[in-house]
């Protein structure tokens, strides 16, 4: 008897065989066959309240594990809801795959239900984007998507799955199943000659600096950069935020970059976050080395810097770093004084950050919030910190020390932190997961608290409520004047009551002395929790330092 398999069965079995069994999803017409096929599989479907949340959860999963997060959404408006979230994952070089349902292929161009040019829509915010067209080979398409997401510079990939491809059945003997090698590519190494050439150039510099890519913004990446720093005697830094040289995490990073006479871009694009390597932010005579998974970005650096690009080569980021360490043995290390100077600059903070307090009764200064939060993170090395965008979270990025940290990233987006906290909890099942966000940001995905309650994914969201879109307010004040602010005011909403209404835990904090106990109660509750802290509306610490 011939066994027949639907396309949906082939997709599910392909993911199952490859060990990608955690699926972040939201149901819809075009992917009902996937849900049906998953019933008798090892797949765990974690379903959410908004399609963008599936991508943010998969993003967090990918950042923490290095394995591709998998998201399933329906076609048309479901796909459209999810696509915007891919931009955050793209900026942070996160391996993940978005599988979207799609109009039947025989209805394309005829006004099919929820017909949309999905592949074209996702293309600008993904590494690759296309539509499957054959049931027998759909498993190969799944493997290809995962391979692209994890190879070279990691990033999000989109694959549309038309419902007729998923619903159609073919004989099992006709299915083209991917092998293990179809899911991954061999990493591109930095060969010995290239590594030696790079190290020789570094040896001619007095103040070299390694700037690492966002893909290094995790525990393995930070460890790699620390080992590069020790082996070569050269300061290292990760460029992962939209504020570039004004990154709140990195103190006087701008001063270090301006003094450097050689910058090694380790997987890092020469882009706006490094001011395109231009004066006055960079010394006009500063030379560059570009090591990048993509030849096109080396070519772009060549066009931008000309003869100041001392060396460029194609290599994957992690293998390149390991090669530099390996080939540095026996070489003279760089200037220890320069390394110490750079590290001191990165760690520099305003003198009053350790003591500043609120001047407004019933409200805390942001610094008071994070002085109380740091001991909570420090108690457990495996704690996960998610800092969203906005001024309040910038204070958190500046003051909180944690090597399992995720931020809104190069994309400069806001709103991802609540679903990312849920995604982080899927990976980290015991240590605290803390999300830091402002009240404006909280509104993007507050319904995902219900998801976290339903799926038993506890975390603590520390919400700084200043009743304002504070980042935009400060931009308006800076560019147009204090009397030209508009559209930035919010209500002093009781966000902790939102949490309790959805089945979580809530705490309202209006005095600094009450915050430590509130944080402890939130963690001890074992529920998704919101600690709603009434704060003064203060610009980010970077703005204060200017």
pLDDT of 127 > 50? The answer is yes
pLDDT of 544 > 50? The answer is no
Residue 113: per-residue pLDDT:
81
Tokens standing for 398? 């500046």
pLDDT of 309 > 50? The answer is yes
Q: Which segment of 53-62, 351-360, 429-438, 494-503 scores lowest on mean pLDDT?
A: 351-360
Q: Are strands 505-509 and 262-266 parallel, antiparallel or unpaired?
A: unpaired
pLDDT tens digits for range 481-511: 988 988 889 999 999 999 999 999 999 999 9
Specify the long-range contacts of residues 243-250, CB closer than 8 Å, at least 24 apart: 243/273, 243/394, 243/542, 244/272, 244/273, 244/274, 244/275, 245/273, 245/274, 245/275, 245/281, 246/542, 247/397, 247/542, 248/394, 248/395, 248/397, 248/398, 248/540, 248/541, 248/542, 249/397, 249/398, 250/346
Residue 31 DSSP SS3: helix
Residues 6+ apart with CB under 8 A from 226: 236
Residue 93 DSSP SS3: coil
Q: Which segment of 10-14, 45-49, 483-487, 526-530 scores lowest on mean pLDDT?
A: 483-487
Q: In what order do the strands lie in the sheet with 262-266?
A: 236-238, 208-212, 262-266, 287-292, 309-314
Angle between helices 51-65 and 417-427 (to 10 degrees): 50
pLDDT of 205 > 70? The answer is yes
Tokens standing for 497? 């009551």
Q: Identify the burial level of 124 via C-beta atoms within 10 angstroms of its C-beta, where 0-12 means exposed, 13-18 middle and 19 or more buried.
A: exposed
Q: d(Cα 401, Cα 222) in Å, to the nearest integer?
A: 13
* Mean of the per-residue pLDDT values of the chain: 95
Residue 109: per-residue pLDDT:
83
Domain annotation for the chain: domains and CATH numbers? 4-183 (3.40.50.970), 192-347 (3.40.50.1220), 351-545 (3.40.50.970)
Q: d(Cα 159, Cα 126) in Å, to the nearest integer?
A: 10
Q: Which residues pair with 45 in a beta bridge?
A: 23
Residue 542: per-residue pLDDT:
59
Residue 297: per-residue pLDDT:
96
For residue 255, how far is the Cα from the chain centroid?
Answer: 26
Q: What is the mean pLDDT of residues 368-394?
A: 95
Q: d(Cα 242, Cα 335) in Å, to the nearest integer?
A: 30
Tokens standing for 191? 């060969």
pLDDT tens digits for range 508-527: 999 999 999 999 999 999 99
Look at the block and give the residue holding tokens 């027998």: 136
pLDDT of 281 > 80? The answer is yes
Residue 546: per-residue pLDDT:
33
pLDDT tens digits for range 424-456: 999 999 999 999 999 999 999 999 999 999 999
Q: Identify the burial level of 276 via C-beta atoms within 10 angstroms of its C-beta, where 0-12 means exposed, 13-18 middle and 19 or more buried.
A: middle
pLDDT of 545 > 50? The answer is no
* DSSP codes, 265-318: EES--SSGGGGGG-TTTS-TT-EEEEEES-HHHHHHHHHHHGGGEEEEEE--HH
pLDDT of 1 > 80? The answer is no
Q: Which segment of 111-115, 117-121, 270-274 scores lowest on mean pLDDT?
A: 111-115
Q: d(Cα 506, Cα 532) in Å, to the nearest integer?
A: 8
Of residues 402 and 113, the one with the higher pLDDT is: 402
Residue 105: per-residue pLDDT:
87
Please report, for residues 24, 200, 206, 230, 258, the alpha-carbon distance to residue 334 in angstroms, rounded to integers and kept in the order given. 46, 11, 8, 10, 18
Closest to 427 measured CA to CA, from 48, 67, 26? 67
Closest to 529 measured CA to CA, from 501, 500, 509? 500
Q: What percent of the chain has pLDDT over 70?
A: 99
pLDDT tens digits for range 413-424: 999 999 999 999
């Amino acid at each position: 008897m011939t066994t027949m398999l639907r396309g949906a069965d082939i997709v599910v079995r392909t993911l199952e065989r490859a060990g990608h069994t955690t699926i972040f999803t939201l149901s819809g017409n075009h992917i009902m066959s996937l849900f049906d096929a998953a019933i008798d599989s090892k797949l765990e479907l974690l379903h959410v309240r908004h399609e963008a949340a599936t991508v943010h959860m998969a993003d967090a999963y990918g950042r923490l594990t290095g394995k591709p997060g998998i998201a399933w959404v329906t076609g048309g408006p479901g796909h459209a809801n999810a696509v915007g979230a891919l931009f955050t994952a793209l900026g942070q070089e996160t391996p993940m795959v978005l599988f979207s349902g799609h109009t039947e292929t025989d209805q394309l161009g005829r006004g099919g239900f929820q017909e949309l040019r999905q592949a074209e829509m996702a293309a600008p915010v993904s590494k690759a984007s296309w539509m499957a067209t054959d049931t027998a080979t759909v498993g190969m398409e799944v493997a290809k998507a995962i391979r692209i997401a994890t190879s070279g510079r990691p990033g999000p990939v989109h694959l549309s799955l038309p419902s007729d491809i998923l619903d159609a059945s073919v004989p099992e003997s006709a299915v083209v199943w991917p092998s293990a090698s179809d899911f991954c590519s061999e990493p591109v190494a930095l060969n010995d000659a290239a590594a030696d050439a790079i190290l020789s150039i570094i040896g001619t510099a007095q103040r070299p600096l390694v700037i690492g890519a966002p893909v290094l913004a995790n525990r393995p990446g930070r460890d790699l950069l620390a080992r590069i720093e020790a082996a070569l005697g050269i300061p290292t830094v990760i460029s992962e935020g939209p504020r570039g040289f004004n990154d709140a995490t990195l103190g006087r990073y701008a001063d270090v970059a301006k003094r450097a006479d050689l910058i090694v871009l380790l997987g890092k694009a020469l882009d706006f976050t490094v001011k395109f390597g231009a004066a006055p932010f960079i010394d006009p005579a500063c030379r560059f080395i570009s090591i990048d998974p993509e030849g096109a970005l080396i070519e772009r650096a060549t066009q931008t810097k000309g003869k100041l690009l001392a060396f460029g080569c194609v290599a994957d980021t992690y293998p390149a770093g390991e090669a530099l360490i390996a080939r540095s043995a026996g070489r003279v290390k760089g200037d220890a004084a320069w390394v110490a100077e750079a590290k001191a600059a990165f760690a520099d903070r305003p003198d009053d950050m350790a003591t500043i307090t609120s001047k407004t009764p019933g409200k805390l200064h942001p610094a008071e919030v994070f002085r109380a939060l740091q001991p909570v993170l420090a108690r457990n090395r495996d704690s996960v910190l998610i800092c969203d965008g906005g001024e309040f979270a910038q204070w958190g990025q500046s003051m909180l020390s944690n090597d399992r940290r995720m931020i809104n990233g190069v994309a400069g987006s806001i709103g991802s932190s609540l679903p990312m906290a849920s995604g982080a909890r899927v990976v980290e099942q015991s240590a605290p997961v803390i999300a830091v966000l402002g009240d404006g940001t909280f509104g993007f995905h507050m319904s995902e608290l219900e998801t976290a309650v339903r799926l038993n994914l506890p975390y603590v969201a520390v919400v700084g409520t200043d009743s304002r879109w504070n980042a935009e307010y400060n931009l308006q004040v800076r560019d147009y004047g204090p009397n030209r602010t508009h559209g930035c005011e919010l209500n002093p909403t009781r966000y902790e009551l939102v949490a309790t209404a959805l089945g979580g835990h809530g705490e309202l904090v209006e005095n600094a002395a009450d915050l430590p106990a509130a944080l402890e109660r939130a963690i001890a509750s074992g529920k998704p929790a919101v600690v709603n802290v009434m704060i003064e509306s203060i610009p980010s610490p970077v703005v204060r330092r200017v």
